[in-house]
Amino acid sequence: MSPPVPAPLHGVRVVEVGGMGPGPFAGMTLADMGAEVVRIDRPGGLGVFPGDPTQDVLNRGKRSVCLDLKQPAAVEIVLAIAAQADILIEGYRPGVAERLGIGPADCQARNPALVYGRMTGWGQDGPLAMRAGHDISYIALTGALHAIGDAGGPPQIPVNLVGDFGGGGTYLVMGVLAALWEASRTGRGRVVDAAIVDGAAHLLSATHAMLNTGTWRDERGVNMLDGGAPYYAVYETSDGGHMAVGAIEPKFYRQLLAGLGLGDVDAAQQDDRSTWPETRKLIAIAFRERTRAQWTKVFESTDACVAPVMSLREAAEHPHLRARGTVVEHDGVVQAAAAPRFSGTPALAGTPPVPMGADTRTVLAEWGIAEGLISSVTDKGTIS
């Protein structure tokens, strides 16, 4: 058996200036891909993780340096680290990094090839740029929240997947890696403006395309992919569980009807909207005749695109996810393994999250920070 191949970003150095949600998610993802990630934490932390911070898996695979960036010596340390890094990411409101002295111009003056990633909700400019917000605020403004929910009911919150992690952290990772590729060829870094509103709107590209062609109505629960179609919906079972149905293609739809014993439903009328209410009623009645486990058994060997709706704890034990190691227990903490996967490199979770500031002296010494500078901030209580 060949030895494991280092992950693709092995040797890439990343500085993550401590923030919330999408920024740490981006840093975790870069660490999962093999980058060396150093997180700059503020004294006292952000106080937003509801539990033991050493179980915050968004900080796995990273080392923590604690600095008070209100102190000039601490700012000098960040600039010295940035001078040796490939990527720096931060999640301040526009202008804050500049006021601290660690903005793009400050850092790229020391390191012209540095890729500087900026993670915000509203972006670096625009009328709302300086306003506070959270995931729900950003997806509300893009139309994404409006599109999710039952017909006639209120919008439904998709946790914070669409904004923070889909439109935010994921797009920050894509942006800094694209800029890193350019910097490797040109020696010039870029500033990456990753705004959640931009990413969430970009995720709606296919929906906009259907809206433009008249195949998507700008309301909830009446379209093919939002629960409006009876063949793409969630149904309750006799034991209070639920089955998710996604039988879009005609051949899959026929298998759905066959599995449910609905031979009298005309499969040729699948996309006739006038038939949807009656078909939905018949499918709902059928699903309520058996338990979730029984329906899972009926459909698990078919291509009807029917799956049981699992809780988070149930999903971790599902045979498919267990076989792939998709959800793992690492140092006593259940978490998703690294994604995506690369040939030759195991899809593992990174090293466990460490207490804030646990690696301060080790990292600064490794990165060649002068002992005199370290001592000066120690004496001033700027470092921990």
Catalytic residue among 135, 164, 226, 359: 164
Please, what sign has the CA dihedral across residues 196, 197, 200, 202?
negative
Active site residue 164: yes
Residue with tokens 């790229």: 108
Buried b (16+ CB within 10 A) or exposed e, 312-348: eeebbeeeebeeeebbbeeeebebbbbeeeeeebebe
C-alpha span between 24 and 269 (Å, rounded): 48
**Cβ neighbours around 24 below 10 Å, total:** 27
Catalytic residue among 56, 68, 106, 134: 134
Active site residue 134: yes
Which helix (H) or strand (E) segment holds residue 17: the answer is: strand 13-17
C-alpha span between 271 and 348 (Å, rounded): 43
C-alpha span between 30 and 348 (Å, rounded): 13
- Asked whether the beta carbons of 112 and 190 are under 8 A apart, the reply is no
- Asked whether the beta carbons of 86 and 188 are under 8 A apart, the reply is no
Structure tokens at 109: 């003056």
C-alpha span between 337 and 265 (Å, rounded): 42
Catalytic residue numbers read 134, 164
